[in-house]
Structure 1
């Protein structure tokens, strides 16, 4: 009889899911925080297109492989996945496919997945923009491989601890939109006069002042094993990209070099489960790495400047890393909202002008800026009147991350950081799709490249106001629900 009862209780024990398996009474009910990280190679085929140029560039070689880098976090009730891919931009259609495949394999809700692009200008083409179009096979490959990054990171979930801090590195960010001296001609491709100029040139006698601020902040999230071995790091910096590659060469730009340098600084090479460092793109729509108000810098060899930038930012991240206080457990939460925004479509006169310009161009390649934007205007004719965008907010303990599918202007990110109920808060651009530049209404009034209507900039003038309002709503919901 005793043997039968023992067998019965053993069977019941096995049938009860998630019953704590404790070695002592004191550990029963203890909350376990877990994390996993992984990468997935997304290097495009030689002979396909690179995104990031006005003209189509065909890949001739690969300087360094491009990757989708992923971190999965689990507080015991909620799992979040953050993926950053070495692409200039990537369409919502590709990312939706990746999310659904990853969900099927991991059961992580799709709304708990934040997928973005770094904005390297030398990655495989994943969107049609200007004169470059993606290879259909590459888009299928991307969806699968980005999903694989989530699946692999989820597979690597293990007990972990987490912490964060914020650094400051002002030496690598400069506002690229400049106000010019009165009378300076600044005719745009639509035959109208702008009030600002992007990348006006170092030493230009007509340079007056930058048209906006910068964000030198460098927030990092660090994940370790319970005994202190590095697992992953997520960093965020508001720098557009660096560039300076060989012609037709694929490169992850400074984002990939930052990841490699952090592995070196943390002595995290050769681990059984590889360490993963990730640099995400902040609000860099009007920010780059050139000081147009300074002196001409020394000439750089190919890849030399991006390595210098990566090393500088990694050094600051390492300073922050050394002071981080880790937590054995934190709670996680996410909120997502889909909003609809109007599209700035051409009127009949603008369309007629564009068609005339294209008809007189040497087909099929548009070479002048006027021709390129005339072609873009014709494409915009067939766009819907409204488009849907996914907006997200993740809470990681007392830290928050917002995500927008645009190249966000720095003013938007600074405002979110200042007014967010969470400290720190940072934003990831180019997330969950691609809907072009996101200037503020004030910058739309100034004009300039980032406002010129095209597949790279087409949302309504008040888009940033509506997006910010929705993000604050999501942050407010996370705050109200925080335990």
Structure 2
């Protein structure tokens, strides 16, 4: 009888104090997501980059955007910002992180920022464009955090090999293998299409289109982040600004997923995978002729349709562990030896109209000189992000496809993809084996860091993935 009376007294006391007796039960975990896009189209007149001779922009064909996805599982917040740009240096991204830290509660170090590598955008660090770009990145993140709402998440992938081709080839004609340093390489980047001189590609491809899909708690499409190892498509009018196929995909995917025209609006985005040696040219068979902007639309439509097909089959989760690790790695910068310096001195001493050994030898004479006069090392950021059993690695280079394939193979997570040109921009990253073959991507000045940098970066990322899995699984 005493025990009954004691229990009644406890219940009466809890009721009188206003406390719910169910409060002792563990609260249900809530997973939230938010997405937004901000216009980062540069002003006309800014130089369009992507080639050896930049030229002023004269018209905007389609606007450029910074697209953001934020995830919050109640314990950790992470985010991605994918920007329509050739490549963005860390200082620009860091300016945006400072604004984000002031305007949101999102940890700046948990944000993975990357450029798509459109070749029809302008310099991120120009005095006129830089503040507009920084503000746009911060606005996309701030709006995405304001849009956070209960959600569920899933991920998957599907192969589409038809649009990715290794652009480095063994060719029989030594004239096609000349380099700006007075030598003959073993391979050629972008050889003549459908030519008898083609022997075989110098490397593989990664056919997978990976994606991360988010829906609202009641099942409506909220956002989708895809990843494909395709350099870019091109086919633009000279002087026109365009987001390339990355922008077209981002607009198409919502309709294919039957996203409703609601607020906040669905946000689609696609990041660049490991495509440093991959492009959209079918070298063996040749390319069909297309009008301006036609081919990028065809590629984007196919990629979007394939993603929509795979998205319909994935499982969604009401809650998943999240995690992010950022580390730095210091790499030696390449320097010309005395023989190379002497070679360029002789070439530059010739009359300007003298027949060059290679058409870009003067360009590379300047690039090599910059490396000679520059610092001896560079410190670059690496990042690994976890979403459930999916890991996303981030590398600030134009990354050879072999590196992404190795990370997928050796990752401790069930699924893995890599976003290149992330958090900084440091040129090309070939493997040591590809360095031995030569070719544009390996030339000093195109590649700026030590020859075994790819192997060092891969090893460190795999250690980060192991740490991320161990800490997030606790």
TM-score normalised by structure 1 residue count: 0.90
2:470 pairs, out of 451, 455, 480, with 480
Partners in 1 of 2:84 and 2:195 — Cα distance?
A: 33
Evaluate the alpha carbon distance shift between residue 66 and residue 269 of structure 1 in structure 2; reply closer, same or farther with a 3 A threshold.
farther
Aligned positions of 1:240-389 closer than 5 A: 240-294=231-285, 296-355=286-345, 357-358=347-348, 368-389=359-380
Greater Rg over alpha carbons, structure: 2
Whether the 8 Å CA contact 2:176–2:191 is kept in 1: the answer is no
Evaluate the alpha carbon distance shift between residue 369 and residue 329 of structure 1 in structure 2; reply closer, same or farther with a 3 A threshold.
same
Match of 2:221 in 1: 230
Structure 1 residue runs of 5 or longer lacking an equivalent are 14-21, 127-133
Match of 1:70 in 2: 68
Matched, 1:159 2:150: yes
Moved more, 172-181 or 26-35: 26-35
Match of 2:133 in 1: 142
Whether the 8 Å CA contact 1:87–1:119 is kept in 2: the answer is yes
Matched, 1:438 2:436: no
Evaluate the alpha carbon distance shift between residue 358 and residue 40 of structure 1 in structure 2; reply closer, same or farther with a 3 A threshold.
farther
1:192 pairs, out of 180, 183, 197, with 183
Match of 1:402 in 2: 393
Shift of 1:269: 4.9
Partners in 2 of 1:257 and 1:66 — Cα distance?
A: 11
Number of residues paired by the alignment? 457
Whether the 8 Å CA contact 2:221–2:266 is kept in 1: the answer is yes
Shift of 1:324: 1.6
Whether the 8 Å CA contact 1:184–1:206 is kept in 2: the answer is no
Match of 1:92 in 2: 90
After superposition, the C-alpha distances for 1:294-323 in whole angstroms (9 at most, x for unaligned) are 1x3321000000000000101100011111
SS in 2 for 1:136: coil
Shift of 1:135: 2.2
Runs of 4+ in 1 over 4 A off after TM superposition: 22-28, 182-185, 355-363
Matched, 1:415 2:413: no
After superposition, the C-alpha distances for 1:249-280 in whole angstroms (9 at most, x for unaligned) are 00000000001110221232521101111100
Evaluate the alpha carbon distance shift between residue 360 and residue 99 of structure 1 in structure 2; reply closer, same or farther with a 3 A threshold.
farther
Evaluate the alpha carbon distance shift between residue 351 and residue 232 of structure 1 in structure 2; reply closer, same or farther with a 3 A threshold.
same
RMSD of equivalent CA atoms: 2.3
Match of 1:468 in 2: 458
Partners in 2 of 1:68 and 1:357 — Cα distance?
A: 43
Structure 2 residue runs of 5 or longer lacking an equivalent are 1-12
Match of 1:17 in 2: none
